[in-house]
Structure 1
Amino acid sequence: MEELLGVPLFDRTERRLRPTPYAQAYEPRARRIILDEKEGARLLALMQSGESGSLAFGMGSSLAPILLEPIMLGLMSKSPGVRLHSVIETSERLVAALLAERLDFFVGDIRVAREHADLRVIALYPCTFGWFARRGHPLAGKRKVTFDDMRAYPLIAAGYVEPSLARRLGDLYGLSAPVIDYFSVTTDDVGTVHSVLQKSDAIVALTELAIISKLESGDAAALAVDPPLVMDLTLGIVHHAERTLVPAAQQAFEIVADCFSRVGARIAAGKASRP
Protein backbone atom coordinates (compact mmCIF):
# COMPACT_ATOMS: atom_id res chain seq x y z
CA MET A 1 0.00 0.00 0.00
CA GLU A 2 2.86 2.39 0.75
CA GLU A 3 4.30 1.76 -2.72
CA LEU A 4 0.89 2.24 -4.31
CA LEU A 5 0.09 5.44 -2.39
CA GLY A 6 3.63 6.81 -2.46
CA VAL A 7 3.67 7.78 1.22
CA PRO A 8 4.88 6.13 4.47
CA LEU A 9 1.97 4.66 6.42
CA PHE A 10 3.94 3.51 9.49
CA ASP A 11 6.90 4.72 11.54
CA ARG A 12 8.91 1.60 12.20
CA THR A 13 10.78 1.15 15.45
CA GLU A 14 12.41 -1.91 16.94
CA ARG A 15 9.36 -2.91 18.95
CA ARG A 16 6.29 -1.54 17.22
CA LEU A 17 4.73 0.19 14.23
CA ARG A 18 3.18 3.59 14.69
CA PRO A 19 0.70 4.94 12.10
CA THR A 20 1.85 8.09 10.43
CA PRO A 21 -0.43 11.11 9.81
CA TYR A 22 -0.84 9.73 6.28
CA ALA A 23 -2.22 6.46 7.64
CA GLN A 24 -4.54 8.24 10.06
CA ALA A 25 -5.89 10.38 7.20
CA TYR A 26 -6.34 7.33 4.97
CA GLU A 27 -7.90 5.05 7.61
CA PRO A 28 -11.61 5.88 6.87
CA ARG A 29 -11.09 5.15 3.17
CA ALA A 30 -9.23 1.93 3.98
CA ARG A 31 -12.14 0.75 6.10
CA ARG A 32 -14.56 1.53 3.24
CA ILE A 33 -12.36 -0.46 0.82
CA ILE A 34 -12.48 -3.48 3.11
CA LEU A 35 -16.24 -3.10 3.54
CA ASP A 36 -16.74 -2.79 -0.23
CA GLU A 37 -14.70 -5.94 -0.82
CA LYS A 38 -16.78 -7.87 1.71
CA GLU A 39 -20.02 -6.55 0.22
CA GLY A 40 -18.80 -7.39 -3.28
CA ALA A 41 -18.03 -10.96 -2.23
CA ARG A 42 -21.45 -11.17 -0.57
CA LEU A 43 -23.16 -9.94 -3.74
CA LEU A 44 -21.42 -12.57 -5.86
CA ALA A 45 -22.34 -15.26 -3.33
CA LEU A 46 -25.97 -14.14 -3.41
CA MET A 47 -25.94 -14.21 -7.21
CA GLN A 48 -24.54 -17.73 -7.13
CA SER A 49 -27.32 -18.80 -4.80
CA GLY A 50 -29.94 -17.11 -6.99
CA GLU A 51 -30.88 -14.54 -4.36
CA SER A 52 -29.58 -11.39 -6.05
CA GLY A 53 -28.71 -9.84 -9.41
CA SER A 54 -31.05 -9.08 -12.28
CA LEU A 55 -32.89 -11.10 -14.90
CA ALA A 56 -34.36 -9.76 -18.13
CA PHE A 57 -36.49 -12.04 -20.28
CA GLY A 58 -39.05 -11.85 -23.06
CA MET A 59 -41.85 -13.68 -24.84
CA GLY A 60 -44.62 -13.13 -27.37
CA SER A 61 -48.12 -11.98 -26.47
CA SER A 62 -49.56 -15.48 -26.98
CA LEU A 63 -47.29 -16.87 -24.25
CA ALA A 64 -47.62 -14.04 -21.74
CA PRO A 65 -51.00 -15.18 -20.30
CA ILE A 66 -49.53 -18.62 -19.63
CA LEU A 67 -45.97 -17.89 -18.57
CA LEU A 68 -45.53 -14.35 -17.30
CA GLU A 69 -47.41 -14.57 -14.01
CA PRO A 70 -45.94 -17.96 -12.96
CA ILE A 71 -42.40 -16.75 -13.71
CA MET A 72 -42.90 -13.52 -11.79
CA LEU A 73 -44.54 -15.16 -8.79
CA GLY A 74 -42.09 -18.07 -8.74
CA LEU A 75 -38.98 -15.90 -8.81
CA MET A 76 -40.39 -13.34 -6.38
CA SER A 77 -40.81 -16.25 -3.97
CA LYS A 78 -37.61 -18.22 -4.66
CA SER A 79 -35.26 -15.30 -5.38
CA PRO A 80 -36.77 -12.17 -3.81
CA GLY A 81 -33.55 -10.19 -4.22
CA VAL A 82 -33.44 -10.61 -8.00
CA ARG A 83 -34.63 -7.63 -10.07
CA LEU A 84 -36.96 -8.81 -12.84
CA HIS A 85 -37.64 -7.16 -16.19
CA SER A 86 -39.99 -8.64 -18.79
CA VAL A 87 -40.53 -7.71 -22.44
CA ILE A 88 -43.53 -8.69 -24.58
CA GLU A 89 -42.47 -8.44 -28.21
CA THR A 90 -42.35 -10.12 -31.61
CA SER A 91 -39.81 -12.87 -32.26
CA GLU A 92 -37.68 -10.64 -34.47
CA ARG A 93 -37.36 -7.95 -31.81
CA LEU A 94 -36.71 -10.51 -29.09
CA VAL A 95 -33.85 -11.97 -31.12
CA ALA A 96 -32.40 -8.50 -31.67
CA ALA A 97 -32.62 -7.72 -27.95
CA LEU A 98 -30.98 -11.03 -27.06
CA LEU A 99 -28.12 -10.52 -29.52
CA ALA A 100 -27.63 -7.01 -28.11
CA GLU A 101 -27.52 -8.59 -24.62
CA ARG A 102 -30.50 -6.58 -23.39
CA LEU A 103 -32.19 -9.89 -22.52
CA ASP A 104 -30.91 -12.95 -20.69
CA PHE A 105 -33.33 -15.23 -22.54
CA PHE A 106 -36.69 -15.35 -24.24
CA VAL A 107 -39.36 -18.00 -24.78
CA GLY A 108 -40.59 -18.53 -28.32
CA ASP A 109 -40.12 -20.32 -31.64
CA ILE A 110 -36.72 -21.99 -31.43
CA ARG A 111 -36.25 -21.87 -35.22
CA VAL A 112 -35.22 -18.23 -34.91
CA ALA A 113 -31.90 -19.43 -33.46
CA ARG A 114 -30.93 -21.41 -36.55
CA GLU A 115 -29.31 -18.44 -38.25
CA HIS A 116 -27.30 -17.38 -35.19
CA ALA A 117 -24.40 -19.59 -34.12
CA ASP A 118 -24.06 -17.76 -30.79
CA LEU A 119 -27.60 -18.60 -29.66
CA ARG A 120 -28.58 -21.76 -27.82
CA VAL A 121 -32.01 -23.34 -27.41
CA ILE A 122 -33.82 -25.59 -24.97
CA ALA A 123 -36.68 -27.23 -26.89
CA LEU A 124 -39.72 -27.67 -24.64
CA TYR A 125 -43.09 -27.70 -26.37
CA PRO A 126 -44.12 -28.95 -29.85
CA CYS A 127 -47.13 -26.80 -30.72
CA THR A 128 -50.43 -28.08 -32.08
CA PHE A 129 -52.49 -25.79 -34.29
CA GLY A 130 -56.08 -25.34 -35.31
CA TRP A 131 -58.71 -23.06 -36.81
CA PHE A 132 -60.92 -21.38 -34.22
CA ALA A 133 -64.01 -19.21 -34.09
CA ARG A 134 -66.48 -17.94 -31.53
CA ARG A 135 -69.02 -20.23 -29.91
CA GLY A 136 -72.09 -20.33 -32.11
CA HIS A 137 -70.22 -19.50 -35.31
CA PRO A 138 -72.02 -20.78 -38.44
CA LEU A 139 -69.18 -23.25 -39.10
CA ALA A 140 -68.77 -24.39 -35.50
CA GLY A 141 -71.16 -27.34 -35.77
CA LYS A 142 -70.13 -28.46 -39.25
CA ARG A 143 -68.46 -31.86 -39.36
CA LYS A 144 -66.18 -31.08 -42.29
CA VAL A 145 -65.03 -27.53 -43.00
CA THR A 146 -63.04 -26.68 -46.12
CA PHE A 147 -60.80 -23.69 -46.67
CA ASP A 148 -63.32 -22.40 -49.22
CA ASP A 149 -65.98 -22.52 -46.47
CA MET A 150 -63.77 -20.37 -44.23
CA ARG A 151 -63.00 -17.84 -46.96
CA ALA A 152 -66.55 -16.57 -46.66
CA TYR A 153 -65.50 -15.08 -43.31
CA PRO A 154 -62.64 -12.78 -42.24
CA LEU A 155 -59.47 -14.78 -41.59
CA ILE A 156 -56.99 -13.70 -38.92
CA ALA A 157 -53.30 -14.52 -38.84
CA ALA A 158 -52.03 -14.23 -35.26
CA GLY A 159 -48.34 -13.47 -35.04
CA TYR A 160 -45.69 -13.46 -37.70
CA VAL A 161 -46.35 -15.91 -40.57
CA GLU A 162 -42.75 -16.70 -41.39
CA PRO A 163 -41.87 -18.26 -44.78
CA SER A 164 -41.90 -21.94 -43.77
CA LEU A 165 -45.31 -21.56 -42.11
CA ALA A 166 -46.65 -19.73 -45.16
CA ARG A 167 -45.41 -22.52 -47.44
CA ARG A 168 -47.04 -25.12 -45.22
CA LEU A 169 -50.39 -23.29 -45.36
CA GLY A 170 -50.07 -23.10 -49.13
CA ASP A 171 -49.34 -26.81 -49.41
CA LEU A 172 -52.20 -27.84 -47.12
CA TYR A 173 -54.90 -25.75 -48.74
CA GLY A 174 -53.64 -25.19 -52.26
CA LEU A 175 -53.05 -21.48 -51.74
CA SER A 176 -51.02 -19.42 -54.17
CA ALA A 177 -48.36 -17.02 -52.94
CA PRO A 178 -48.37 -14.66 -51.16
CA VAL A 179 -50.35 -16.70 -48.65
CA ILE A 180 -50.72 -13.74 -46.28
CA ASP A 181 -53.07 -12.10 -48.82
CA TYR A 182 -55.75 -14.64 -47.89
CA PHE A 183 -55.95 -13.13 -44.41
CA SER A 184 -58.02 -10.05 -43.63
CA VAL A 185 -56.20 -9.25 -40.37
CA THR A 186 -52.70 -9.86 -39.05
CA THR A 187 -51.78 -8.97 -35.48
CA ASP A 188 -49.20 -9.92 -32.86
CA ASP A 189 -51.59 -9.26 -29.97
CA VAL A 190 -53.44 -12.45 -29.05
CA GLY A 191 -55.62 -10.57 -26.56
CA THR A 192 -57.02 -8.57 -29.47
CA VAL A 193 -57.60 -11.79 -31.41
CA HIS A 194 -59.67 -13.19 -28.56
CA SER A 195 -61.75 -10.02 -28.41
CA VAL A 196 -62.32 -9.85 -32.17
CA LEU A 197 -63.40 -13.50 -32.28
CA GLN A 198 -66.05 -12.89 -29.63
CA LYS A 199 -67.50 -9.88 -31.49
CA SER A 200 -67.46 -11.14 -35.08
CA ASP A 201 -67.59 -14.17 -37.35
CA ALA A 202 -63.84 -14.04 -37.90
CA ILE A 203 -61.79 -17.25 -37.93
CA VAL A 204 -58.22 -17.50 -36.69
CA ALA A 205 -55.35 -19.91 -37.36
CA LEU A 206 -53.66 -20.28 -34.00
CA THR A 207 -51.77 -22.58 -31.68
CA GLU A 208 -54.05 -24.40 -29.27
CA LEU A 209 -51.84 -23.14 -26.48
CA ALA A 210 -52.76 -19.53 -27.32
CA ILE A 211 -56.50 -20.11 -27.11
CA ILE A 212 -56.79 -22.85 -24.48
CA SER A 213 -58.43 -20.56 -21.93
CA LYS A 214 -61.20 -19.60 -24.38
CA LEU A 215 -61.77 -23.24 -25.33
CA GLU A 216 -62.05 -24.21 -21.68
CA SER A 217 -64.51 -21.40 -20.96
CA GLY A 218 -66.60 -22.31 -24.00
CA ASP A 219 -66.15 -18.89 -25.60
CA ALA A 220 -64.27 -20.35 -28.57
CA ALA A 221 -64.71 -23.48 -30.63
CA ALA A 222 -62.31 -25.53 -32.73
CA LEU A 223 -63.45 -25.96 -36.33
CA ALA A 224 -63.29 -29.39 -37.98
CA VAL A 225 -61.21 -28.21 -40.92
CA ASP A 226 -60.13 -30.76 -43.53
CA PRO A 227 -57.20 -31.15 -43.84
CA PRO A 228 -56.31 -30.23 -40.26
CA LEU A 229 -53.73 -27.54 -39.61
CA VAL A 230 -50.62 -29.62 -38.95
CA MET A 231 -47.56 -27.34 -38.65
CA ASP A 232 -43.99 -27.68 -37.41
CA LEU A 233 -43.38 -25.29 -34.53
CA THR A 234 -41.52 -26.00 -31.31
CA LEU A 235 -41.44 -23.50 -28.48
CA GLY A 236 -38.55 -23.29 -26.09
CA ILE A 237 -36.01 -21.11 -24.35
CA VAL A 238 -33.49 -19.18 -26.45
CA HIS A 239 -30.43 -17.69 -24.74
CA HIS A 240 -27.02 -16.31 -25.67
CA ALA A 241 -24.29 -18.94 -25.55
CA GLU A 242 -21.65 -16.54 -24.23
CA ARG A 243 -23.75 -14.76 -21.59
CA THR A 244 -23.33 -15.83 -17.97
CA LEU A 245 -26.74 -16.35 -16.41
CA VAL A 246 -27.59 -15.82 -12.77
CA PRO A 247 -28.92 -18.95 -11.03
CA ALA A 248 -32.40 -17.39 -11.04
CA ALA A 249 -32.41 -17.99 -14.81
CA GLN A 250 -32.32 -21.75 -14.22
CA GLN A 251 -35.22 -21.38 -11.80
CA ALA A 252 -37.10 -19.51 -14.52
CA PHE A 253 -36.31 -22.29 -17.01
CA GLU A 254 -37.81 -24.85 -14.64
CA ILE A 255 -40.94 -22.74 -14.21
CA VAL A 256 -41.35 -22.41 -18.00
CA ALA A 257 -40.94 -26.16 -18.52
CA ASP A 258 -43.52 -26.88 -15.81
CA CYS A 259 -45.99 -24.41 -17.35
CA PHE A 260 -45.67 -26.03 -20.77
CA SER A 261 -46.18 -29.46 -19.22
CA ARG A 262 -49.34 -28.30 -17.47
CA VAL A 263 -50.86 -26.57 -20.48
CA GLY A 264 -50.08 -29.62 -22.63
CA ALA A 265 -52.06 -31.76 -20.19
CA ARG A 266 -54.96 -29.26 -20.33
CA ILE A 267 -55.02 -29.36 -24.13
CA ALA A 268 -54.97 -33.16 -24.17
CA ALA A 269 -57.81 -33.30 -21.64
CA GLY A 270 -59.83 -30.80 -23.69
CA LYS A 271 -59.45 -32.83 -26.85
CA ALA A 272 -60.51 -35.98 -25.04
CA SER A 273 -63.70 -34.29 -23.82
CA ARG A 274 -64.78 -32.90 -27.21
CA PRO A 275 -67.48 -34.80 -29.06
Structure 2
Amino acid sequence: MDLKRWSHIVAVADRRSFIRAAEQVHLSQPALTRSIQAAEAELGLQLFDRGTNEVVTTPAGEFVVARARQLVFNSRCLERDVELYRSRSLGDMAFGIGPFPAATLLSQLLTEMRCEFPGINLRVEISNWQLLLKRLLEEDIEFFVADTRNLPPDPNLHIRAVRREPGGFYVRSGHPLAAHKSVTMPQLWPHGVLSVRLPPGVRAVVSQLLGLASPAELSLALECDDVGLLKKVALACDSVLAAPHAAVKEEVAAGELHPLEVSGLPVQASEMGVVTLRGRTPSPMAELIISRLPAR
Protein backbone atom coordinates (compact mmCIF):
# COMPACT_ATOMS: atom_id res chain seq x y z
CA MET A 1 0.00 0.00 0.00
CA ASP A 2 1.41 3.43 -0.88
CA LEU A 3 2.09 6.11 1.70
CA LYS A 4 -0.74 8.38 0.52
CA ARG A 5 -3.31 5.76 1.38
CA TRP A 6 -1.81 5.35 4.85
CA SER A 7 -2.11 9.13 5.28
CA HIS A 8 -5.77 8.91 4.22
CA ILE A 9 -6.41 6.33 6.96
CA VAL A 10 -4.79 8.58 9.58
CA ALA A 11 -6.77 11.62 8.40
CA VAL A 12 -10.12 9.82 8.71
CA ALA A 13 -9.17 8.52 12.18
CA ASP A 14 -8.16 12.02 13.33
CA ARG A 15 -11.07 13.94 11.84
CA ARG A 16 -13.76 11.28 12.49
CA SER A 17 -15.42 12.45 9.30
CA PHE A 18 -14.90 11.67 5.62
CA ILE A 19 -15.85 15.24 4.73
CA ARG A 20 -13.31 16.87 7.08
CA ALA A 21 -10.63 14.30 6.27
CA ALA A 22 -11.14 14.87 2.51
CA GLU A 23 -10.55 18.59 3.03
CA GLN A 24 -7.37 17.86 4.96
CA VAL A 25 -5.86 15.59 2.28
CA HIS A 26 -7.20 17.72 -0.61
CA LEU A 27 -9.42 15.06 -2.14
CA SER A 28 -13.10 14.89 -2.93
CA GLN A 29 -15.15 12.90 -0.44
CA PRO A 30 -15.96 10.13 -2.97
CA ALA A 31 -12.27 9.78 -3.85
CA LEU A 32 -11.29 9.50 -0.19
CA THR A 33 -14.07 6.98 0.44
CA ARG A 34 -12.80 4.84 -2.44
CA SER A 35 -9.26 5.06 -1.06
CA ILE A 36 -10.37 3.83 2.38
CA GLN A 37 -12.49 1.07 0.86
CA ALA A 38 -9.50 -0.06 -1.22
CA ALA A 39 -7.30 -0.07 1.88
CA GLU A 40 -9.82 -2.15 3.83
CA ALA A 41 -10.10 -4.58 0.93
CA GLU A 42 -6.32 -4.89 0.63
CA LEU A 43 -5.86 -5.42 4.36
CA GLY A 44 -8.91 -7.65 4.71
CA LEU A 45 -10.02 -5.60 7.72
CA GLN A 46 -12.80 -3.14 8.46
CA LEU A 47 -11.01 -0.07 9.77
CA PHE A 48 -13.95 2.25 10.45
CA ASP A 49 -17.56 2.09 11.62
CA ARG A 50 -19.57 4.58 9.59
CA GLY A 51 -22.01 5.97 12.14
CA THR A 52 -24.66 8.60 11.59
CA ASN A 53 -22.78 11.31 13.49
CA GLU A 54 -19.11 10.46 13.15
CA VAL A 55 -16.72 7.84 11.84
CA VAL A 56 -15.14 5.69 14.58
CA THR A 57 -12.19 3.32 14.29
CA THR A 58 -12.85 -0.36 14.89
CA PRO A 59 -10.46 -2.34 17.14
CA ALA A 60 -8.67 -3.45 13.96
CA GLY A 61 -8.64 0.18 12.83
CA GLU A 62 -7.01 1.34 16.06
CA PHE A 63 -4.28 -1.27 15.57
CA VAL A 64 -3.65 -0.19 11.97
CA VAL A 65 -3.95 3.57 12.57
CA ALA A 66 -1.29 3.53 15.31
CA ARG A 67 1.23 2.01 12.91
CA ALA A 68 0.09 4.08 9.94
CA ARG A 69 0.55 7.23 11.99
CA GLN A 70 4.17 6.29 12.68
CA LEU A 71 4.78 5.57 9.00
CA VAL A 72 3.39 8.96 7.95
CA PHE A 73 5.32 10.75 10.67
CA ASN A 74 8.61 9.05 9.74
CA SER A 75 8.06 9.92 6.10
CA ARG A 76 7.57 13.60 6.90
CA CYS A 77 10.62 13.55 9.16
CA LEU A 78 12.73 11.99 6.41
CA GLU A 79 11.67 14.60 3.84
CA ARG A 80 12.33 17.39 6.30
CA ASP A 81 15.69 16.02 7.49
CA VAL A 82 16.87 15.65 3.91
CA GLU A 83 15.97 19.28 3.25
CA LEU A 84 17.74 20.40 6.42
CA TYR A 85 20.80 18.35 5.52
CA ARG A 86 20.82 19.86 2.03
CA SER A 87 20.45 23.50 3.12
CA ARG A 88 21.39 23.78 6.82
CA SER A 89 20.14 27.35 6.64
CA LEU A 90 18.00 29.30 9.08
CA GLY A 91 14.37 29.48 8.04
CA ASP A 92 10.90 30.52 9.11
CA MET A 93 9.40 28.51 11.95
CA ALA A 94 6.59 28.34 14.51
CA PHE A 95 6.63 27.46 18.19
CA GLY A 96 4.32 27.65 21.18
CA ILE A 97 4.70 29.03 24.68
CA GLY A 98 2.62 28.89 27.83
CA PRO A 99 1.27 32.02 29.53
CA PHE A 100 3.83 32.11 32.38
CA PRO A 101 6.99 31.79 30.25
CA ALA A 102 5.39 34.16 27.74
CA ALA A 103 5.12 36.76 30.49
CA THR A 104 8.65 36.25 31.83
CA LEU A 105 11.00 35.53 28.92
CA LEU A 106 9.27 35.89 25.54
CA SER A 107 9.72 39.63 25.05
CA GLN A 108 13.51 39.54 25.41
CA LEU A 109 13.82 36.39 23.32
CA LEU A 110 11.79 37.76 20.41
CA THR A 111 13.61 41.09 20.55
CA GLU A 112 16.94 39.28 20.22
CA MET A 113 15.67 37.22 17.29
CA ARG A 114 14.29 40.24 15.44
CA CYS A 115 17.48 42.25 15.92
CA GLU A 116 19.81 39.44 14.87
CA PHE A 117 17.69 37.81 12.15
CA PRO A 118 15.38 40.47 10.64
CA GLY A 119 14.78 38.37 7.52
CA ILE A 120 13.32 35.41 9.43
CA ASN A 121 9.56 35.08 9.99
CA LEU A 122 8.42 33.60 13.30
CA ARG A 123 4.95 32.54 14.43
CA VAL A 124 4.39 32.24 18.17
CA GLU A 125 1.28 30.69 19.71
CA ILE A 126 0.60 31.58 23.36
CA SER A 127 -1.77 29.15 25.03
CA ASN A 128 -2.12 26.52 27.76
CA TRP A 129 -0.19 23.27 27.51
CA GLN A 130 -3.24 21.21 26.47
CA LEU A 131 -3.75 23.23 23.28
CA LEU A 132 -0.02 23.51 22.63
CA LEU A 133 0.37 19.75 22.89
CA LYS A 134 -2.39 19.32 20.33
CA ARG A 135 -0.61 21.74 17.98
CA LEU A 136 2.68 19.89 18.47
CA LEU A 137 1.16 16.48 17.72
CA GLU A 138 -0.45 17.97 14.62
CA GLU A 139 3.03 19.29 13.70
CA ASP A 140 1.68 22.82 13.46
CA ILE A 141 4.50 23.99 15.76
CA GLU A 142 8.04 22.63 16.19
CA PHE A 143 8.16 22.80 19.98
CA PHE A 144 6.57 24.54 22.91
CA VAL A 145 7.70 25.91 26.27
CA ALA A 146 5.32 25.46 29.19
CA ASP A 147 4.77 24.09 32.68
CA THR A 148 5.38 20.37 32.15
CA ARG A 149 4.23 19.00 35.53
CA ASN A 150 0.93 17.75 34.18
CA LEU A 151 1.91 16.56 30.72
CA PRO A 152 0.64 13.00 30.15
CA PRO A 153 3.36 10.35 29.82
CA ASP A 154 4.00 9.83 26.11
CA PRO A 155 7.03 8.05 24.59
CA ASN A 156 6.67 10.29 21.52
CA LEU A 157 7.50 13.41 23.56
CA HIS A 158 10.92 14.64 24.62
CA ILE A 159 11.04 17.12 27.52
CA ARG A 160 14.05 19.23 28.47
CA ALA A 161 13.80 21.12 31.75
CA VAL A 162 14.34 24.88 31.47
CA ARG A 163 13.84 26.41 34.91
CA ARG A 164 11.49 26.69 37.84
CA GLU A 165 9.24 29.76 38.00
CA PRO A 166 8.21 30.47 41.63
CA GLY A 167 5.05 32.48 42.07
CA GLY A 168 2.60 33.86 44.57
CA PHE A 169 -0.35 36.17 45.18
CA TYR A 170 -0.33 39.93 44.56
CA VAL A 171 -2.67 42.87 45.13
CA ARG A 172 -2.61 46.49 44.00
CA SER A 173 -1.10 49.19 46.18
CA GLY A 174 -3.76 50.40 48.60
CA HIS A 175 -5.65 47.09 48.57
CA PRO A 176 -7.28 46.24 51.95
CA LEU A 177 -5.07 43.14 52.25
CA ALA A 178 -1.82 45.00 51.50
CA ALA A 179 -1.57 46.30 55.08
CA HIS A 180 -1.61 42.78 56.56
CA LYS A 181 1.69 41.11 57.44
CA SER A 182 0.13 37.80 56.42
CA VAL A 183 -3.29 36.63 55.28
CA THR A 184 -5.10 33.31 55.18
CA MET A 185 -6.50 31.76 52.04
CA PRO A 186 -10.12 32.25 53.30
CA GLN A 187 -9.34 35.97 53.73
CA LEU A 188 -7.83 36.24 50.26
CA TRP A 189 -10.21 34.20 48.15
CA PRO A 190 -13.45 36.24 48.54
CA HIS A 191 -11.76 39.18 46.81
CA GLY A 192 -11.67 37.09 43.62
CA VAL A 193 -8.52 35.46 42.25
CA LEU A 194 -7.16 36.09 38.75
CA SER A 195 -4.91 33.45 37.22
CA VAL A 196 -4.09 31.22 34.31
CA ARG A 197 -5.49 27.70 34.53
CA LEU A 198 -4.26 26.30 37.85
CA PRO A 199 -2.41 22.96 37.73
CA PRO A 200 -4.12 20.12 39.65
CA GLY A 201 -1.43 20.16 42.37
CA VAL A 202 -1.95 23.86 43.06
CA ARG A 203 -5.72 23.45 43.01
CA ALA A 204 -5.43 20.67 45.58
CA VAL A 205 -3.29 22.80 47.95
CA VAL A 206 -5.53 25.86 47.66
CA SER A 207 -8.70 23.78 48.08
CA GLN A 208 -7.32 22.25 51.25
CA LEU A 209 -6.45 25.68 52.68
CA LEU A 210 -9.97 26.87 51.87
CA GLY A 211 -11.49 23.82 53.55
CA LEU A 212 -13.22 22.62 50.39
CA ALA A 213 -14.27 18.99 50.08
CA SER A 214 -12.82 18.70 46.58
CA PRO A 215 -10.64 20.74 44.15
CA ALA A 216 -13.62 20.56 41.80
CA GLU A 217 -15.38 23.08 44.05
CA LEU A 218 -12.61 25.65 43.48
CA SER A 219 -13.46 28.45 41.05
CA LEU A 220 -11.43 31.43 39.87
CA ALA A 221 -12.92 34.89 39.48
CA LEU A 222 -11.09 35.23 36.15
CA GLU A 223 -9.14 32.53 34.30
CA CYS A 224 -7.15 33.74 31.31
CA ASP A 225 -3.95 32.76 29.47
CA ASP A 226 -2.95 36.42 29.03
CA VAL A 227 -0.89 37.35 32.12
CA GLY A 228 -0.55 40.96 30.93
CA LEU A 229 -4.32 41.31 30.89
CA LEU A 230 -4.61 39.76 34.36
CA LYS A 231 -2.10 42.30 35.69
CA LYS A 232 -4.11 45.21 34.27
CA VAL A 233 -7.29 43.93 35.92
CA ALA A 234 -5.53 43.43 39.28
CA LEU A 235 -4.15 46.97 39.15
CA ALA A 236 -7.62 48.40 38.54
CA CYS A 237 -9.66 46.62 41.22
CA ASP A 238 -9.48 44.65 44.47
CA SER A 239 -9.05 41.24 42.84
CA VAL A 240 -6.00 39.15 43.79
CA LEU A 241 -3.49 38.16 41.12
CA ALA A 242 -1.76 34.76 41.12
CA ALA A 243 1.39 34.99 39.00
CA PRO A 244 5.08 34.08 38.81
CA HIS A 245 7.36 36.53 40.60
CA ALA A 246 9.29 37.26 37.39
CA ALA A 247 6.10 38.35 35.61
CA VAL A 248 5.35 41.13 38.11
CA LYS A 249 8.83 42.25 39.20
CA GLU A 250 8.53 45.63 37.44
CA GLU A 251 5.15 46.38 39.02
CA VAL A 252 6.44 45.30 42.45
CA ALA A 253 9.59 47.44 42.07
CA ALA A 254 7.40 50.41 41.11
CA GLY A 255 5.18 49.88 44.17
CA GLU A 256 2.14 49.17 42.00
CA LEU A 257 1.69 45.57 43.12
CA HIS A 258 2.21 44.21 46.62
CA PRO A 259 3.11 40.54 47.34
CA LEU A 260 0.97 38.76 49.91
CA GLU A 261 2.34 36.42 52.54
CA VAL A 262 -0.22 33.60 52.68
CA SER A 263 -0.06 31.56 55.87
CA GLY A 264 0.11 27.80 55.38
CA LEU A 265 0.86 28.06 51.66
CA PRO A 266 3.96 26.09 50.63
CA VAL A 267 6.27 27.51 47.95
CA GLN A 268 4.60 27.22 44.55
CA ALA A 269 6.65 27.02 41.36
CA SER A 270 6.02 26.07 37.74
CA GLU A 271 8.37 23.52 36.16
CA MET A 272 9.16 25.01 32.77
CA GLY A 273 10.36 22.76 29.99
CA VAL A 274 10.82 22.53 26.24
CA VAL A 275 8.59 19.89 24.66
CA THR A 276 9.49 18.42 21.26
CA LEU A 277 8.53 15.35 19.25
CA ARG A 278 10.97 12.52 19.81
CA GLY A 279 12.70 11.49 16.59
CA ARG A 280 12.14 14.77 14.79
CA THR A 281 15.23 16.81 13.93
CA PRO A 282 14.74 20.46 14.99
CA SER A 283 15.18 23.10 12.31
CA PRO A 284 18.25 25.33 12.69
CA MET A 285 16.07 28.23 13.89
CA ALA A 286 14.33 26.00 16.44
CA GLU A 287 17.71 24.82 17.73
CA LEU A 288 18.88 28.41 18.02
CA ILE A 289 15.80 29.60 19.93
CA ILE A 290 15.90 26.62 22.30
CA SER A 291 19.59 27.32 22.99
CA ARG A 292 18.67 30.90 24.01
CA LEU A 293 16.17 29.75 26.65
CA PRO A 294 17.43 30.11 30.24
CA ALA A 295 18.83 26.91 31.75
CA ARG A 296 18.12 25.67 35.24
Question: TM-score, normalized by length of structure 1?
Answer: 0.69
Q: CA deviation at 1:234?
A: 0.5
What residue in structure 2 maps to residue 160 of structure 1?
Answer: 197
What residue in structure 1 maps to residue 75 of structure 2?
Answer: none
Q: CA deviation at 1:179?
A: 5.0
User: Given the alignment of the two structures, is residue 143 of structure 1 paired with residue 200 of structure 2, yes or no?
Assistant: no
CA–CA distance in 2 between the matches of 1:212 and 1:47? 42
- Match of 1:111, as an amino acid? R
Q: CA deviation at 1:148?
A: 2.1
CA–CA distance in 2 between the matches of 1:207 and 1:135? 18
Given that 2:103 and 2:228 are in contact with CA atoms closer than 8 Å, whether structure 1 keeps it comes out as no
- Match of 2:208, as an amino acid? D
Task: Report the number of matched residues.
Answer: 214
Given that 1:215 and 1:221 are in contact with CA atoms closer than 8 Å, whether structure 2 keeps it comes out as yes
What residue in structure 2 maps to residue 169 of structure 1?
Answer: 206
Matches of residues 1-275 of structure 1 in structure 2 within 5 Å? 44=84, 47-48=87-88, 51-80=89-118, 82-156=120-194, 158-179=195-216, 181-231=218-268, 233-257=270-294
Deviations 1:46-104 (A, max 9, x none): 852xx422321111233324333333233345455543221112211101001111111
Question: TM-score, normalized by length of structure 2?
Answer: 0.64
Q: CA deviation at 1:184?
A: 2.2
What residue in structure 2 maps to residue 3 of structure 1?
Answer: none
CA–CA distance in 2 between the matches of 1:179 and 1:230? 22
Residues 83 and 130 from structure 1, CA distance in 2 versus in 1: closer, same or farther, beyond 3 angstroms? same
Deviations 1:148-205 (A, max 9, x none): 221341222x111232321122234433324553432222221221111111111122
Higher RCO (Cα < 8 Å, 6 or more apart): 1
CA radius of gyration, larger in:
1
Given that 1:52 and 1:81 are in contact with CA atoms closer than 8 Å, whether structure 2 keeps it comes out as no
Given that 2:169 and 2:259 are in contact with CA atoms closer than 8 Å, whether structure 1 keeps it comes out as yes
CA–CA distance in 2 between the matches of 1:46 and 1:214? 48
- Match of 1:214, as an amino acid? E
CA–CA distance in 2 between the matches of 1:169 and 1:83? 42
Which SS does the other structure have where 2:170 is aligned?
strand
Which SS does the other structure have where 1:95 is aligned?
helix
CA–CA distance in 2 between the matches of 1:53 and 1:129? 35
Given that 2:164 and 2:270 are in contact with CA atoms closer than 8 Å, whether structure 1 keeps it comes out as yes
CA–CA distance in 1 between the matches of 2:106 and 2:238? 30
Residues 154 and 113 from structure 1, CA distance in 2 versus in 1: closer, same or farther, beyond 3 angstroms? closer
